[in-house]
């Protein structure tokens, strides 16, 4: 279970037993468990939505967004902000992108990206809570967050690391067979629960083409940004269904 615990510690702020220091090995062995931890995150968000929806769908959506940020520690939102700042200043230069993305200060592009993704999730969660039965919302959210982290595995396997760091350490633990198997499992469940979420597969392919064309590779921040954008797009697909 060390891989699962490493993934839980890596992706969430849920308390976990302390593991023996493994450095890069911890990230690599966590890779296959990312979709599983994603489903756990979605289930916790769904529980918060259900709690708040007892008062009002918008309160449910607010509780859901708060839970999303608290459980993940805003890890991926931070990556989204860094990527937005980097892309806004890089003008297609990968070296300049890395330099700006590593700057700890928040720029205007990053601030706008954070605001937009949080607003998108708030509105989409409110609409889902208002229109769909809560059990369907819960199952859909667990799949949304699992698919988004499966996309991280697919991207890590198909797009080379841009620099040495979190992205490259994660990519070292990704196996094509595992990505394919987990994708098939998620697809089979989605067919019965929310067929619209099958759009995650072509979306992952589009993300891979974008990062290759724009930067020629990916960093850990790019993975975080991809998760945030994928989650928002899949929430929209869930609502459209």
* C-alpha–C-alpha distance, residues 70 and 157, integer Å: 29
d(Cα 167, Cα 37) in Å, to the nearest integer? 18
CB atoms closer than 10 angstroms to residue 95: 10
Residue by residue, pLDDT tens for the chain (241 residues) are: 778 888 888 889 988 876 544 554 667 788 889 999 999 999 999 999 999 999 999 999 999 999 999 999 988 999 999 999 988 887 778 888 888 888 888 888 999 999 999 999 999 999 999 987 888 889 999 999 999 999 999 998 898 888 776 667 777 777 889 899 999 999 999 999 999 999 999 999 999 999 999 888 888 889 999 999 999 999 999 998 7
- The predicted pLDDT at position 61 comes to 96
Please choose, from the candidates 209, 196, 76, the residue with its C-alpha nearest in 3D space to the C-alpha of residue 144: 196
Question: Each residue of 135-167: pLDDT tens digit?
Answer: 888 999 999 999 999 999 999 889 888 877 666
pTM assigned to the model: 0.91
Which phi and psi (to 5°) does residue 22 adopt? -125, -10
Residues 6+ apart with CB under 8 A from 201: 183, 187
Using CA atoms, how far residue 220 sits from 17, 69, 128, 213, 224, in Å, is 24, 18, 30, 17, 6
How many H helices and E strands in the chain?
12, 0
């Amino acid at each position: 279970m060390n891989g699962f615990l490493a993934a839980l510690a890596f992706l969430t702020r849920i308390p976990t037993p302390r593991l023996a220091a493994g450095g890069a090995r911890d990230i690599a062995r966590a890779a296959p468990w990312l979709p599983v931890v994603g489903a756990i995150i979605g289930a916790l968000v769904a529980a918060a939505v259900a709690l708040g929806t007892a008062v009002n769908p918008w309160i449910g959506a607010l509780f859901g967004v708060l839970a999303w940020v608290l459980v993940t520690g805003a890890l991926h939102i931070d990556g989204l902000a860094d990527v937005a700042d980097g892309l806004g200043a890089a003008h297609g230069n990968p070296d300049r992108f890395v330099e700006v993305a590593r700057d700890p200060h928040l720029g205007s592009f990053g601030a706008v990206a954070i605001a937009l993704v949080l607003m998108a999730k708030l509105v989409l969660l409110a609409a889902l809570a208002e229109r769909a039965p809560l059990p369907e919302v819960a199952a859909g959210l667990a799949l949304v967050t699992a698919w988004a982290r499966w996309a991280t595995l697919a991207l890590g396997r198909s797009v080379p690391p841009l620099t040495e760091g979190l992205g490259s350490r994660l990519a070292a633990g990704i196996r094509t067979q595992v990505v394919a198997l987990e994708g098939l499992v998620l697809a089979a469940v989605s067919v019965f629960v929310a067929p619209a979420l099958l759009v995650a597969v072509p979306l992952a392919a589009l993300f891979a083409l974008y990062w290759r064309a724009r930067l020629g590779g990916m960093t850990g921040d790019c993975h975080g940004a991809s998760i945030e954008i994928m989650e928002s797009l899949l929430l929209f697909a869930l609502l459209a269904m």
